[in-house]
Amino acid sequence: MGRRAMEYYVYVYIDPRNYEEFYFGKGKGSRKEAHLTSTSDTEKAARIAAIREAGLHPIIRVVARDLSESEGFAN
């Protein structure tokens, strides 16, 4: 596979108040940060807002990298 096909990663959002993993996602580029500014009406967005209201930031960890898109879905 060419280098371009291996540009995806899998990431997890962790609540710093209790270290609970609350969201896993697949992305490329800066996708993992996109949720930080989301104003959607989702449980994930509400949790991020609550973390920020507590004066904290969600912990974001990349748990797998250099994946094809299909490998990103499989993880």
Q: Tell me the pLDDT band of 3, cut-offs 50, 70 and 90.
A: low
- Total domains, the chain: 1
pLDDT of the residue at 75? 61
pLDDT digit string (tens) for 28-75?
Answer: 999 999 999 988 999 999 999 999 999 999 999 999 999 988 887 776
Q: Which of 55, 48, 2 is nearest to 25 (CA)?
A: 48
Beta bridge partner(s), residue 71: none
Give the structural domain span for 67: 3-74
In this prediction, residue 57 carries a pLDDT of 98
Measured distance CA(36)–CA(46) in Å, rounded: 11
